[in-house]
A and B are shown apart, each in its own frame.
Chain A
């Protein structure tokens, strides 16, 4: 099984809402990633978790709060977002941290902030 699942597929939220994105993998991978992808742009790395610990935060605003409750699950908690945060949010996982490990991507959650 080489699948990374993400829920929900689509999410519309207001600027005062609190919501969460969920990502799950059962490949035994120990590194997990959040990316943000704006329309017609490449993905941009947001966070990396390695062995359930936050390893990299690419200076992401605090209105995005990641969480890794266990080795299979990665959440992204959203609060007080802005319309410019509307994007496709991609989760990925890899066997280990480092570019030599292939990253497997989920299909993404398309987020619209109104």
Chain B
């Protein structure tokens, strides 16, 4: 069955430090890949997406992600985190373009150490 795995439940990084959040998917073909962020008490906001082409994608708020087919991974990175980045981050996959269903990973909670 198709699945999305975020191995890290909770990560704490110092403000100004770099960040990498891991995401692995299980699917035969290349899926449509997304990263969403959810601040406390808020809805989700799309950070970036990968459909095809350049495997390094840039998103909003200074985030980027790299698709690695050989590792079935789509890790999210940011060179220098800010206290406002503290939130829940969800990796998600869409299996084909006409599907409406996005399958979300279990999420990684990011805390920022002052």
Contacts and interface: CB of A to CB of B under 8 A. Distances in A.
Contact of B97 (A31, A58, A100): A100
Nearest to B102: A99
B99 A41 contact: no
B46 A102 contact: yes
B44 A55 contact: no
Give the interface residue-count category, chain A.
20 to 34
B44 A99 contact: no
Contacts of A58: 101
Contacts of B100: 31, 33, 45, 48, 50, 55-56, 97-99
A45 B43 contact: no
Give the interface residue-count category, chain B.
20 to 34
Interface in B86-114: 90, 92, 94-102, 104-107
A67 to B, nearest CB: 18
A103 interface: yes
Interface in A72-114: 90, 92, 97-100, 102-103, 105-108
Q: Point out which of A4, A56, A100, A102 has the most chain B C-beta atoms below 10 A from its C-beta.
A: A100
A43 B97 contact: no
Given A102-B46, A105-B43, A107-B42, A42 B101 contact: no
Interface string B58-81: 000000000000000000000000
B51 A100 contact: yes
Contacts of B102: 45, 99, 103
Interface of A: 4, 31, 33, 40-45, 48, 50, 55-56, 58, 90, 92, 97-100, 102-103, 105-108
